[in-house]
């Protein structure tokens, strides 16, 4: 097995993708919270194309298949539940804050797992625990 093979294992790849997706979502959430008082602002989220590609990739990786190139990570105006506020703003601050808590936990989880993975790899290479 070539050495590169170590770093493209499905586990590592899916953790990396999760961190990417999570960082992008944090951007979207920060934009929403920053604009909570901007009249007419439309809530944004990770683009549906990217979300779709992300969940497809996750399924493929958990089945041990390889993943095609991911589409560009981007943010777009998101659909909202419920009516906009009278000033045309569609941000609901509570939803954003809850989303942020979940999102950062996901990021932290993926980060921890990735760290663990690399530690194990290092142990195996050096033969020291």
Q: Give the DSSP H or E segment for 48.
A: helix 48-62
Q: What's the CA gap between 21 and 71, in Å, rounded? A: 12
User: Is residue 35 near another protein by the rule CB under 8 A?
Assistant: yes
**Is there binding between residue 37 and another protein (CB under 8 A)?**
yes
Nearer to another protein, 65 or 122 (CB): 122
C-beta of residue 9 within 8 angstroms of C-beta of residue 43: no
**Binding residue (CB under 8 A) for another protein from 52, 59, 115, 123:** 115
Q: Interface with another protein includes 9 (CB under 8 A)? A: no
Q: Which is nearer to another protein, 97 or 124 (CB)?
A: 97
Answer for the pair 39, 88: CB distance below 8 angstroms, yes or no.
yes
Shortest separation between residue 13's beta carbon and another protein, angstroms: 14
Give the helix/strand (H/E) hosting 100.
Answer: helix 93-126
């Amino acid at each position: 097995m070539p050495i590169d093979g170590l770093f493209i294992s499905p586990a590592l790849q899916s953790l990396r993708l999760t961190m990417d997706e999570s960082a992008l979502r944090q951007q979207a959430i920060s934009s929403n919270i920053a604009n909570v008082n901007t009249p007419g602002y439309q809530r944004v989220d990770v683009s549906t194309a990217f979300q779709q590609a992300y969940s497809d990739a996750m399924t493929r990786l958990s089945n041990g298949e390889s993943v095609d190139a991911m589409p560009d990570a981007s943010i777009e105006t998101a659909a909202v539940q419920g009516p906009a506020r009278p000033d045309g703003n569609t941000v609901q601050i509570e939803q954003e804050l809850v989303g942020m808590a979940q999102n950062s936990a996901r990021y932290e989880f993926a980060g921890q797992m990735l760290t663990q993975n690399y530690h194990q790899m290092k142990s195996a290479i050096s033969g020291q625990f």
